[in-house]
Chains A and B, each alone.
Chain A
Amino acid sequence: MNFDDLSPAQQEIVRLPLQTKVFLHGQAGSGKTTAAIHRMLGLIDQGIPAESVLVLVPQRSLAQGYRDVIRTPNSRAGGEPAILTIGGLAQRMIALFWPIVAKNAGFKNPTRPPQFLTLETAQYYLASIVEPLLQKGYFESVTVDPNRLYSQILDNLNKSAVVGFAPDEISQRLIQAWAGKASQSVIYEQAQECALLFRKLCLQQDLLDFSLQLSIFTDHLWTSFLCKKYLTSTYRHLIYDNAEEDYPVAHDIIAKWLPDFESALILSDTEAGFRSFMGADPVSANSLGDQCSKKVEFCNSLVKTHPLDNLESALSRSLIEHRLDGHFDSDVESSFSIHPFRFYPQVIDWIVKQVSELLINQNVTPNEIVILTPFLSDSLRFSFYTRFTECGIPINTFRPSRSLRDEPAVKTVITLAKLAYPIWALKPSKDEVRTALMLTITDCDYVRADLLTQILYSSASGSLRSFDPVKKEMQQRLTYTIGERYEKLRRWLEQNSNQGTLELDFFLSKLFGEILSQPGFKFHENFDSASSVNRLIESCRKFRQTMTDGTLINEASISKEYIRLVDEGILAAQYLSDWAGKSQSDSVLISPAFSFLMSNRPAKYQFWLDIGSQGWWTRLDQPLTHPYVLNRNWARGQLWTDAQEYSTNQKTLARVTTGLIRRCSDHIFMCSIGINEQGNEERGALVMAIQTILRKLKTTAGGKHV
């Protein structure tokens, strides 16, 4: 978009005098980010070195627009603005200034390099602390799987870092707000103990999880002369987008830093703060406005139509007030339609047909359509993928996290590793071996894979036998080609396990390159499998490198330990996929509603799937933590009651629907399903609120939706 295409309000932002600090707020879709991108380009055009501009965002996906524009050939010669999250900036500063900060921050071995923990390696170290305590009866009354315990304990530490309270206050805060049975306080105390033990271990072994990185940045680096000098002299201009989605400690840092910037543009969406479970705090974001010399509001949406505007207000009122009193504009009718179905497959077929119709008959481009759901399960994604692919419609899915260990290619290589190393005594099951052979050897179908397994896999020793002694008739039945490929694989596994000490990540790389991706094997041209195995190898390498530097486990056991932890779901369970980077511009998007909100892009048509689902409303069950209590806006001493739970969920849903409608420019197709994916009938808050609108429409205009 050229400068001349901007609205007068946007042009005014771009033209503000250089040394201005401005707080720009307004609804999503009012053109704030576009104005900020042009402001950034304007600064660079005025001769400001691009690398002196700091673009801060709460989440990487929100920075795509900035990234794209500075990489076009139209941008001037020079450096690039730094586009970072506060967490990313903290990690960068720790890496650079570690030699001067490690000792003061309390690390036991300050001369060793810092080990930045990923979510999975943090869970691993935490598990080493919690597992023995579980044996002693800790968390006995909590019925969630251990991995969810670990993630909530880490989440508590993260909350202490992002909200800005001491880690030893976690349980106290949670207990004070607890309105249920007194026995819960024991659970909170145990979670507290685990969190503090984990922190102690980190300091002893130079390990840095997210919470420790952020605390070191705020408590030690920000106050260090050298680091502060570096930051304030390197970054002279600030653009802070979606400040409302960031946490209060990030706002505190910016509040202190603001006087040092020559210019600042802070952007905040109204009625947002979707990342509340990660500590997003619109209240503290707004307080940054008081420190800016100018406040500007963009009032008008550049995206949604008048009927959509009415739908937004009607839905929000009906969710929060449960009724629609007073004036009601019936043009809302054209903004949405309701489509009831009994079962999931029917709705999928209908959506695919409707999307085809939009693409073919109404000249809509695929990227103008999104299909939104509260959660996106693998089976749902697969069903859509199959149906859309049959119709030749490109699709793209946003899955902010996926379970790597559930990928078939990953399961296959793990099974093969177990077969190569019977010494680990991690014998794969017959099912696992059959699947691995079927997914590995070209032309090997289920029946042949099953025969191979029955005849040649010894479940007692956990190893494969040679194909050669197999009776001729059976060899013929299996085919010689498959036999040859099987033998090649078997011999390779045997030879390479003899090398004994090959690290697991190297072993898997060799297995992939020398066998699985060679002609005659199924990964040869399967890019998705290659990508999954690549991620597994990366995860495995990071694990090994972290472990080798620590003292927790000896080097020889690392490979076995890694496999055991994958099996238990501690490792490779969550792996962030870079969905922002891979989003395709020419495809229909299928996404969880939250991920779509965090991608900062509008769509002409939205399909809301299963509006009866409780998933639109219900908060994740987290018995060890609480996003609203471990929050700066929570008044300590207050009790968290059912009434608060209910009203918070209603408000959160209203925020989500408002956010979605603000990102729609034409029509929302709302699909209700009688029987959901789990076979249940649901009537959640969203469908109830929509029914309130329908009733009102019926009384005012004889509405056609009903």
Chain B
Amino acid sequence: MTLPETFIFTQQNLQDYIDCNRRFYLREILKLEWPAIESEPVREQEELILLGTQFHLLCQQFFLGIPVEDLSDQITNLELQVWWQNFLKLDFKSLNGTLSSEKLISIPFAGFRLAAKYDLLLRDLNGKNFIYDWKTSKHQPQRKYLVERMQSKIYPLVISKYIGAKRFDTDFNPESIDMIYWYPAFPNTPISFGYSKVQFEADQTGLEKLIYEINKKKEPDFVLTEREKTCSYCRFRSLCNRGVTAGVSDQQEIDFQATNAFNFDFEAL
């Protein structure tokens, strides 16, 4: 199997591959539309996705300079109101530095492109780069769960390589990068990770190996996961003969890039 040259790797599709090779194949290569329910309770999940979408949009509008009062007027949901107030307390307005929100960056990587969409990138006056990711789940996961996620590896790597390439600086120091997962429902306990040259190199090698492995595979090599619990939260379970009903998710994390969260699809316009 050779992937098309225009295939784009993201934290979401690589996480799929890690979770289940087969899922990657069905979703990314076959592009299969399989409208089963992923996990229960489905109504609450939809509600949470809508709230998360609204929160992300509010933040983006805030950074565009739309007056806070106008934005606050748009909020009718109590929970969102609390999240929004918590966000305002971060006081980004008074920070000195450069900010860009909802920024998509992709880099050439291992014969393909590797892309990341950043909720917020902040570069302060000391040259320190902060990656903020808004996590609108109702539970905060443990640090060790996040550290293993593809997002924690790909986001700092993409920005490091991007800044390095932009400045023609192969010696760009990854230590200047911090990745911060900020939970509006838990404003005082952000989970942040520093970055280092060692980590950068380890992630780079690991990801290159992974992409090489994926590209080498033939259809039957994309095997079903051995961890059958994963199938409870996967819409392909009927196709794979891995169960009937969707499992009840603890809503550990709803990833906005993994869902069709936005009610309009920018790509489709």
Are A and B physically bound partners? yes
Q: A77-B105, A506-B43 are in contact. Are A71 and B8 (CB under 8 A)?
A: yes
Chain B: CB-nearest residue to A230: B64
- Given A80-B106, A89-B269, A524-B238, do A111 and B76 touch, yes or no (CB 8 Å)? yes
Given contacts A73-B111, A95-B57, A506-B37, are A513 and B237 in contact (CB under 8 A)?
yes
What distance in Å separates the Cβ of B217 from its nearest Cβ neighbour in chain A? 19
Does B34 touch A at the CB level, under 8 Å?
yes
Pair B269/A512 contact, Cβ less than 8 Å: no
User: In the assembled complex, how far is the CB of residue B105 from the closest CB belonging to chain A, in whole angstroms?
Assistant: 6
Closest to A542 in B: B263
- Report A488-513 CB contacts with B as 1/0, cut-off 8 Å: 00000000000000010010111011
* Known contacts A91-B264, A518-B244, A508 near B35 by CB under 8 Å: yes
The answer to whether A73 and B109 touch across the interface, beta carbons within 8 angstroms, is yes
Question: Chain A at the B interface: mostly helix, strand, loop or mixed?
Answer: helix
Binds A, one of B136-144, B159-167, B179-187: B159-167
B192 at the interface (CB under 8 A from A): no
How many Å lie between the Cα of A531 and that of B32 in the bound state? 8
A residues in contact with B36, CB < 8 Å: 509-510, 512-514, 517
Asked whether any CB of chain B lies closer than 8 Å to the CB of A97, the reply is: yes
The interface size of chain A toward B, counting residues with CB under 8 Å, comes to: 55
CB contacts between A and B, total, < 8 Å:
140
Please state if B33 and A530 are interface contacts (CB–CB under 8 Å).
Answer: yes
Contact B64 A96 (CB under 8 A): yes
Residue contact A513 to B235, C-beta cutoff 8 Å = yes
Chain B minimum-CB-distance residue to A76: B165
B209-243 interface (Cβ within 8 A of A): 235, 237-239, 241
Query: Given that A71-B6, A524-B239 are contacting pairs, would A512 and B35 also be in contact in the complex, using a CB cutoff of 8 Å?
Result: yes
B15 within 8 A of A: no
Contacts of B103 in A (CB 8 A): 51, 79
Q: Which residues of B contact A84 (CB under 8 A)?
A: 269
Among A76, A80, A85, the residue within 8 A (CB) of B269 is A85
**Other-chain contact of A113, B35, B74, B113, B269 (Cβ < 8 Å):** B74
Docked Cα-Cα span, A537 to B36, in Å, equals 10
The CA of A76 and the CA of B109, in the complex, are separated in Å by 10
**For the complex, is A680 an interface residue (Cβ under 8 Å from B)?**
no
Q: Say which size band chain B's interface belongs to.
A: 35 or more
B125 on the A face (CB < 8 A): no
B42 in contact (CB, < 8 A): yes
A599 interfacial by beta-carbon distance below 8 Å: no
Which residues in A have their C-beta under 8 angstroms from that of B109? 73
Stretch at the interface among B65-73, B83-91, B145-153: B65-73
**C-alpha spacing A440/B268, complex, angstroms:** 32
Shortest C-beta distance, B99 to chain A (Å), equals: 14
Contact A75 B113 (CB under 8 A): yes
Q: Which A residues are closer than 8 A to B by beta carbons?
A: 51, 60, 67-68, 71-80, 84-85, 87-89, 91-92, 95-100, 111-113, 116, 226, 230, 503, 506, 508-510, 512-514, 517-519, 524-525, 527, 530-531, 533-535, 537, 545, 578
> What are 18 sample pairs from A and B whose C-beta atoms fall under 8 A apart?
A71-B106, A76-B108, A77-B106, A78-B165, A80-B106, A87-B269, A92-B266, A92-B269, A96-B57, A96-B60, A100-B67, A226-B66, A230-B64, A509-B42, A513-B35, A517-B34, A518-B244, A537-B35
